[in-house]
Amino acid sequence: MSQTRPHCSFVLLAEFDILEGAQLKYQFPQPLGVDESVLAMSMLPDGAETQLDDWTVFFLNQTQWNRIEPVVGLEEDGLLCVLNLVRTKHDKTLDRGARVLALAICTRHPFIQIFKPVLLMALDDYLSHPSQDVLARLFDSVNAIDFSAAPVLSRDEKLVMRLSERKDIFVEKHLTIPVTEPDGDTTDVSFGSAVWVGDEDGADEPPPATRQRSSTDASSASSSSHLHLPRMPITRAVQDTHFFNTTVEYNGHKLPIKMPLSTFPEEVGDYSLITLIRVFSQSESTPINPVHPHLHTSGPQTHPIIILFNALLTNKNIIFLGHRRPAGEVSMFVLAACALGSGCGAVLRGFIERAFPYANLNNRDEWEGVPAYIAGVTNPIFEASKSWDLLCDIGTGTITVAKDIWAKWPVGPLPALTSNPNSSSLASTSSLIAPLLTRTGTLKAESDPHDDVGSTALKGADSNREVNSADNAFIEDIKLAIEYHYGESLVRVRFMEYVVRFVRLASRWEEETAPLNPSATNGSEDSTTVGEKEKLDSNWGAKPPRTKIGYPSSPFIPPGPKSTLGYGTLGSGLVFNDDNLGLKELLQNAHRIEGWRDQTGGRGKSYVYCAEDFAVHFRVSPIRFDVLHQIFRLRHAHHYHAGSLSERSSSFSGAGGTGREYSGRYAGGTGMSDAEAHAIFRALADGVRTYEQVVEFLSHLNPHTGFLLPLAFGLFHQNASVREATVELFDTLRGFGVGIIFLQFLNHFQRYAYVRLSSC
């Protein structure tokens, strides 16, 4: 990690004076240029005297009223995260019997929680020796932390790290000595001695040159000698590669620090989605709320968490109220909500910049003037405010929609569906729009995160009133996972997938409603090579895409006279198994999609950022086709993995699922021809070669859907070319440490099939 910018930009100390109120006493190394009363009130929240210790979070450089003066000379005009420790020191000799003060550090790192130990020690030091020297020592100590050896992961590497709980994931990046990739001789598995290790420490010996005996009995392979894969060398000093271990020294004391390596900028602090879901799922009495299309995608039965998610997406003003609650607790709910809307920082952005984890009356006019604010408050007076659209009461676990929501957010007619030249258009089924607005049903399309293993249908509910039961079933899945003690990591992955699904739906909606825009090339004309351009034109057709936030939706086209790739044109985007159900799902999500895209009044930045991010992805993505579409096709097309062989090979048991949904569950969906299976596997085998391509490919394989399980069915395909391409792809994965880890999640039956085919 680069050491060019300081870890700590400023240190602040505030104290409550019985006569003058909250006062900002020290700013180190220099004044920020922000109104001192604003800083002091933010550091000393209401009711601070009732808590012995409290942690709060707020941000600087969000708006004009909390922007640092340029004269300070910061290296960039980015968001500053402020971690604030408030302490009440009881002393009977004082007039009010206690001393209330707060110490804060300002940092650009989102993982602010790692600084808590040193902040605690510094505040103790200040109480013993009150002087500005304490702030100077804290400033120097934090900036002396050595992160130079910490691995800097790409977005795809961060996603892969989140998907795996293996403590040796990307272990090669933690080594101090250079690690060379295995050469061609060691990565070739044609001799059939692929590794399947019994332990996970990675200290296995390279495979012998002799060939293991062949057998069709999977148990014989596992009961004889273990099949071994070459592993990347691992140092046993590494405890958990999800973190970088270092220390911070303060006053002669060395404090351990574990810096998380997979944190995105939209994830600030140690938030908890599980806590957020539990609190707002426990209330048995739901307030009588106005039903608004932007918020209630399942009608009156919409789960409170989905209402909150929709409010975040559609740029509503949101307040979290924690009356008589620690301000730090309220702050964590705001940060968790930001993570919820952004897909845990991995999909969307633009939430943190409008978040005020702790807000108060002192600067009320300023933060209430920010479009689509997300604020945390402890003063119940805000309940009577007319500015919020959604009030989340932490104490009661209820979510209230403003009574005047329709007046503030009128809903116009939806745009008409148009003919999409790049896909099987849904416009021909537009006559179904009117009945679809009142009809119900569970939707299955190319991929639906609600259809994963363990999906729980809502029982006892009136199906005529449930407009979109898929959302509610998804939340029931999450609640069930929490009940069975699945961890925070799985919940975050599920919500990340949920947001990805929403964006792909929104992209398809754009295609079906937006007029053709010849200039919408997503930057492809100027940023791709001739070969890449030819490949993209082959995948997308001659006409440019009609969406700015995703790949154009198109089914697989078999090879023809104009095909340049030799195996047809790969599908891309969101393609539904059934156009009627697809139109139905789009219409059920249409209002929240339109609310997300609305950019009036300075809102809609999340959509704008999404379009910008996709344009960048389109230009620099290592894999030059829609990988997610191909994986979804392999996962859901029933002809690809139907029959007894699939049932035998789907005994995988992983985090959150068993794989049983892959045997005929989607028998009513679109099947996959041998030509499409060959095209997908050949494209993956040819297009996934380098380390960057492998990591991007693996970042789309979630644990609750079986990791490589959808790909492993290619080992049993009736077409020899598909089996060969699958082996070729797995051989490529085997050449990298992270690929080996994913291969080890295959079950014994799939492992043996891979070894047997490799030895042929």
Which DSSP string corresponds to 714-738? GGG-SSHHHHHHHHHHHHHHHTSHH
| pLDDT for 535 beyond 60 | no
For the segment 442-466, the average pLDDT, to the nearest whole number, is 37
Burial tier of 217 (Cβ tally within 10 Å: 0-12, 13-18, 19+): exposed
Helices H, strands E: what count in the chain? 26, 12
Which structural domains are found in the chain, ordered by start? 10-143 (3.30.450), 524-758 (no CATH)
User: How does pLDDT run across 225-245, given as a tens digit for each residue?
Assistant: 334 444 444 444 457 999 999
CA-to-CA dists, residue 574 to 261, 553, 673, 713, angstroms = 31, 5, 18, 22
Q: Residue 62, SS3?
A: coil
| Rounded (5°) CA angle 145-148-149 | 115
CB 310: neighbour CB atoms within 10 A? 27
Cβ pair 331, 357 in contact under 8 A: yes
Q: Are 587 and 430 in contact (CB under 8 A)?
A: no
Where residue 706 falls among pLDDT bands split at 50, 70, 90?
confident
What value does the mean pLDDT take over residues 263-287? 88
* Residue 284: band (very low, low, confident or very high) from pLDDT cuts 50, 70, 90: low
pLDDT band at 181 (very low <50, low <70, confident <90, very high): very low
Tell me which of 214 and 164 has the higher pLDDT: 164
DSSP at 77: -
SS3 460: coil
Buried b (16+ CB within 10 A) or exposed e, 639-664: bbbbeebbeebbebebbbbebbbbbb
CA distance 666 to 685: 26
The per-residue pLDDT for range 555-564, each reduced to its tens digit, is 998 887 655 5
Query: What is residue 391's three-state secondary structure?
Result: strand
Mean residue pLDDT across the chain: 79
98-138 pLDDT per residue, tens: 788 999 999 999 999 999 999 999 999 999 999 999 999 99
Span 250-269, average pLDDT: 94
3-state secondary structure labels for all residues of 652-709: CCECCECCHHHCCCCCCCCCCCHHHHHHHHHHHHHHCCCHHHHHHHHCCCCHHHCCCH
CB neighbourhood size of 46 (10 A): 17
What is the model's pTM?
0.82
Alpha carbon of residue 523 to chain centroid: 25
pLDDT at position 283, please?
67
pLDDT of residue 137: 96
List, for residues 19-50, the tens digit of each pLDDT value: 778 899 999 999 988 889 889 999 998 877 77
Residues of the chain above pLDDT 90, percent: 54
The whole-number pLDDT of residue 420 equals: 54
pLDDT at 95: 67
Residue 425: pLDDT over 60:
no
Burial class (CB in 10 A: 0-12, 13-18, 19+), 717: buried
More confident residue, 579 or 747: 747
pLDDT (tens digit, 9 = 90+) per residue, 606-653?
999 999 999 999 999 999 999 999 999 998 876 565 433 333 333 333
Q: Using the predicted structure, report yes or no on whether residue 377 has a pLDDT greater than 90.
A: yes
